[in-house]
Structure 1
């Protein structure tokens, strides 16, 4: 029988970290403890509960069935305590606090979201600093786990239980080209589109472990193909045509200069096309095949669910998207 009154709650926090990391080393780094301190804490907890918790493997540690059984209720309890103490000890006041948030986003998201967000923060929270890191890094999930990234923004096909998500916005795709491009002279069709070289953006590929356009890392599957590749390939197959040539690039913001004085056309998200067309002499055309709406989500660690500052940041991001981006999509 476990005596809860005599149980050191710090042991539960260490257990939760090792459960997430599946590694004593990574858990010790996250908790700013030595490996021996973490190992000793696990031994104390094992003695207290009378059950084995982890089994050492060549890649770290594997939780036992007992550890899996208790992990979810313990994590929920820790999150509840963290949220209660955060609200009671330091209510978040954005107008008078100095804090830095780290957001992972690609150049497209940065271009359409940050101007509006920066304007909002400069008025309501001048002491808030933002650090934007590339969401293309292969250790994105690990960076969220280690609390080095507060929020990641992108398109994800799989999100592990330890991470939570929220819809930021939805978008579709369009074709863009320079004003006066020959494609504008006739009716848009797959045959017409296939006549000209095409530029698309890919943030990774099969060489980086991508499967069906997504890269899986530690349970988080993030999009690598930044356009609806299956829809394009299906449309080409049905029309029995092939793209003359294709240029695949890693950055959206290189596209306008590529289109200038060339026959290139490009597939981009509609909000970005609207931003480009305000600055560059570009035309926005509908694609000659159906494309579905694509989600952009916020992803964060579940430990931050109830954190007042984190809740506020998520609300600001959604407000920036709703107030500015949705209006651009409807323009």
Structure 2
């Protein structure tokens, strides 16, 4: 294949079909008809000598060749756009769509207020939220299918960048009227009352020390400091009773209602869950490590003006949330 025969517009078609996995959606993104997208895809197939995408149901699935060439190709397109200055960004006029990986806790406390802010300053910008708990998170960032991930990461590979958003400790949430609700919690309470805890992956998914490592990216799997809890209860001589472990934080209120269970959750989530509800929050009777929430993205997006703008909007939102924690 000669590079002199390559129409760069065909590469934009590849990008759109690869990321949308649908010819109609790719056409809408490129302002082209489905027929025009199909024609461009046929030309690209002839140029590369591979089918690139196979129709499956109503979608398009990339071949092995397409999957192999996608990371370098998407990276090159970003660099060309940045070098030529063809990707200006105006929030109030933009119709870009950003894909963010986040769990339901982060969606509640960060993405929701971010969405409200975007409605005012960038009404045409759309957000797509993907679960940050998926085991192929690093791969999806590498392939450009996720623009940015928000979470707690113990390790970030050199091909990715990270920005600190906020730090927070843990609080305990319980029902109003709980036997321990009218006094300061003690270690005896944690030994006596069973717990609801958050975990999005255990040893069966490869978690070690509360983190899952994939392609050099280590993301938190347990949303509480298990080691601090267990060490604290050694004094009481009773291990903690983790009666219910769930992957979804917004299920906690339903689990706690009508029970004497306690739940150890990140402070920002505790504030959100107890706001105007029948739940209350209390401080831990022991010291737990503060966790740092970070945004992670691929270095190819460092100089993307729209991406940089989104990162700043997220950082500003997180700072507001952190300030409210006191």
If the TM-score is normalised by the length of the shorter chain, which range does it land in? 0.7 to 0.9
Which runs of 4 or more aligned residues in structure 1 lie more than 3 Å from their structure 2 counterparts after TM superposition?
Answer: 36-39, 77-84
CA RMSD, aligned part only? 3.0
Give 1:37 deviation, angstroms.
Answer: 5.2
User: 2: CA distance between counterparts of 1:83 and 1:99?
Assistant: 15
Equivalent pair of 1:179/1:281 in contact (CA under 8 Å): yes
TM alignment of 1:220-239, pairs within 5 A:
220-239=217-236
User: 2: CA distance between counterparts of 1:282 and 1:314?
Assistant: 33
Secondary structure of 1:272's counterpart equals: helix
User: 2: CA distance between counterparts of 1:186 and 1:321?
Assistant: 31
Q: Deviations over 1:56-110 (max 9, x none)?
A: xxxxx9xxxxxxxxxxxxxxx9799547426x22321011111100000000000
What TM-score does the superposition give when structure 2 sets the normalisation length?
Answer: 0.76
Matched with 1:188 is: 185
TM alignment of 1:1-331, pairs within 5 A:
82=80, 84-85=82-83, 88-323=85-320, 325-330=321-326
User: 1: CA distance between counterparts of 2:106 and 2:125?
Assistant: 19
Number of aligned residue pairs: 271
Equivalent pair of 1:175/1:284 in contact (CA under 8 Å): yes
Equivalent pair of 2:102/2:149 in contact (CA under 8 Å): yes
User: 2: CA distance between counterparts of 1:100 and 1:37?
Assistant: 28
| Cα separation, partners in 2 of 1:112 and 1:80, compared to 1, 3 Å | closer
User: 2: CA distance between counterparts of 1:240 and 1:83?
Assistant: 62
Secondary structure of 1:137's counterpart equals: coil
| Cα separation, partners in 2 of 1:151 and 1:81, compared to 1, 3 Å | closer
Secondary structure of 1:257's counterpart equals: helix
What TM-score does the superposition give when structure 1 sets the normalisation length?
Answer: 0.75
User: 1: CA distance between counterparts of 2:257 and 2:273?
Assistant: 12
Secondary structure of 2:91's counterpart equals: coil
Give 1:282 deviation, angstroms.
Answer: 1.2
User: 2: CA distance between counterparts of 1:274 and 1:258?
Assistant: 17
Structure 2, unpaired ranges of 5+: 5-17, 20-40, 51-67, 69-74
